[in-house]
Chains A and B, each alone.
Chain A
Amino acid sequence: AQKITQTQPGMFVQEKEAVTLDCTYDTSDPSYGLFWYKQPSSGEMIFLIYQGSYDQQNATEGRYSLNFQKARKSANLVISASQLGDSAMYFCAMREGGGYFGNEKLTFGTGTRLTIIP
């Protein structure tokens, strides 16, 4: 089974609308973390937001929020009031493994290409 699934290969959204990018994950590890990264056309990877499995509240960073539904194993990224500069690839990633040495790993999804339409 895929560890991280992003089912939307591409999305088109009107400027100023809210956007939800889907991410589901699969792990049996009780301690894990979920990340979202943005990759603009220039190619660099930019960290957006992080949610730990034990965090009680959904993470927020400015216009970004993470809709964490633990029982459903989903960690959707919500972008409020989208802007043209939000057009990019978006990757969901999951950290698994406990302890500082050895069995930690980070697995990325295949990404969603978001295009904001003026």
Chain B
Amino acid sequence: DAEITQSPRHKITETGRQVTLACHQTWNHNNMFWYRQDLGHGLRLIHYSYGVQDTNKGEVSDGYSVSRSNTEDLPLTLESAASSQTSVYFCASSERGFGDEQYFGPGTRLTVT
């Protein structure tokens, strides 16, 4: 069965360190998304990609970067982790972009100390 996976599921890191969260999907979807979820804010879009070599900034992109070298993967990098980036991070993919059902990964809980 097709799926979308995230790793690690939990991570604790220190302020200032670079962190990369992995996202891998086997749906063969061109569109992939990264969100963060915080209490009182719902989900907020960080970055998204419509296909290989394409990346776009979302609502809360400062301090984050992504790269898309193949269809299956969209890793999210925190260049220099800050305590404000403590959150739950969700990766998602869809067949036809924003106007389509998105399939979400299980989430990564990141704590920055």
Q: A residues engaging B (CB < 8 A)? A: 4, 33, 35, 43-47, 50, 52, 91, 93, 95, 97, 100-101, 104-111
Contact = CB atoms under 8 A, between A and B. Distances in A.
**Interface class of chain B by DSSP:** mixed
A43 B42 contact: no
Contacts, number: 52
13 contacts: A4-B42, A33-B99, A44-B104, A44-B106, A47-B103, A50-B101, A93-B43, A95-B99, A100-B97, A104-B97, A105-B58, A106-B98, A110-B41
Given A45-B92, A105-B45, A105-B58, A110 B98 contact: no
Contact of B107 (A43, A97, A106): A43
A46 B101 CA distance: 9
Interface string B86-113: 0010101000011101111111000000
